[in-house]
Amino acid sequence: MLRHRTVVFLLVVAALWVGWEAFLAVTAPRRLDAAVAAALEREPLVSIAVTLGFPPEDFHIRIFQTHGVVSGVRGTTVLLNRVSAADVHRIARYYWVRRISPQ
């Protein structure tokens, strides 16, 4: 009985985690503007404007600083320069990002 509790709990946690990662992977492309995808094919580093659903906090700025150079914040949008393709896709996976568009 006791082992059942542990096993069920771990299975539920694993299932939730896998489901969540799948959700992130599926919804990521929707956030990316076609223009940005096109720009990525031309240049290795792009400048993007990341729109959130809320004014960014220190937490978000620090995360963006690991993906590129933060050049400004306009309301709910963060301007990022020198972002590589890999970093753009990583940003697209964040569920709290609304949209990634060219600057």
Partner 1 sequence: MLRWETAAAWTVLLAGGLAAWSVAAATLPVPDYFLPPPSAVLAALGDLLAKGILPTYVTASLARMLTAALTALVVGVPVGLLLGMSRRVADFAYPLLNFFQSVSGIAWLPLMLVWFGFGERTIVAAVNYTVIFPVVFNALLGVRSVPRLYVDALRTLGASRWRIIRDVVLPGALPSIATGMRLGLAYGWRALIAAEMLVGAHGLGFMIFSAQSFHLTARIMLGMAVIGVLWLLLDYFVLRPVEQATISRWGLVQR
Asked whether position 57 contacts partner 1 by CB under 8 A, the answer is: yes
Asked whether position 94 contacts partner 1 by CB under 8 A, the answer is: yes
Asked whether position 6 contacts partner 1 by CB under 8 A, the answer is: yes
Q: Which two tokens stand for residue 49?
A: 């404007």
Total of residues contacting partner 1 (CB under 8 A): 17
Counting other chains too, the contacts that 74-78 makes at CB distance below 8 Å and 24 or more residues apart are: 74/49, 76/51, 76/52, 77/49, 77/50, 77/51, 77/52, 78/49, 78/50, 78/52
Residue closer to partner 1 by CB (options 2, 34) is 2
CB of 7 to partner 1, least distance (A): 9
Angle, CA of 59, 64 and 15, to the nearest 5°: 75
Asked whether position 5 contacts partner 1 by CB under 8 A, the answer is: yes
Asked whether position 30 contacts partner 1 by CB under 8 A, the answer is: no
Q: Which residues contact partner 1 (rule: CB under 8 A)?
A: 2-3, 5-6, 9-10, 52-54, 57-60, 63, 94-96
